[in-house]
Amino acid sequence: MRAIYRRELKSYLTSMIGYVFMAFILGVVGLYFGAINIGSAWPRIGDTLSNATFVFLIAVPILTMRVIAEERKQKTDQLLLTAPIKIGEIITGKYFALLTIFLVPLFVISLYPLILKKFGTVSMGMSYTSILGFLLLGCAEMAVGVFLSSVTENQVIAAVLSFAILFLSYVSEGIAGLFPQTAKASLAAFILLIFLVCLWIGSMIKNVIITGTITLLAEVTLIISYIVKPSLLEGLIQKFFGIFNFTSHFDNFINGVLDINGIVYFLSVVIICLFLANQTMQKRRWS
Residue 233 DSSP code: G
Q: If phi over 0 gives left and psi between -120 and 50 gives alpha, with beta otherwise, what is residue 235?
A: left
Give the pLDDT of residue 286.
Answer: 66
Tell me if 64 sits within 8 A of 158, measured CB to CB: yes
Residue 92 buriedness (CB in 10 A; 0-12 / 13-18 / 19+): middle
Per-residue pLDDT of the chain (287 residues; tens, 9 = 90+): 777 888 888 888 888 888 888 999 999 999 999 888 888 878 888 889 988 888 889 889 888 888 887 777 777 777 777 777 788 888 898 899 999 999 999 999 999 999 888 887 888 888 999 999 999 999 999 999 999 888 887 888 888 888 988 898 888 888 878 888 888 888 888 888 888 888 877 777 777 888 888 888 888 888 888 888 888 888 888 888 888 888 888 888 888 888 899 899 999 999 999 998 888 888 776 66
Q: What is the dihedral of CA 239, 243, 249, 251, to 10 degrees?
A: -50
Give the pLDDT of residue 244.
Answer: 82
Give the pLDDT of residue 96.
Answer: 93
Of 131, 102, 139, the closest CA to residue 246 belongs to: 139
* Model confidence, pTM: 0.84
Instruction: Please state the length of the chain.
Output: 287
Q: Which residues of 7-44 are buried (b: 16+ CB within 10 A; e: fewer)?
A: ebbebbeeeebbeebbebbbebbbebbeebbeeeeebb
SS3 helix, strand, coil % of the chain, rounded to 5? 80, 0, 20
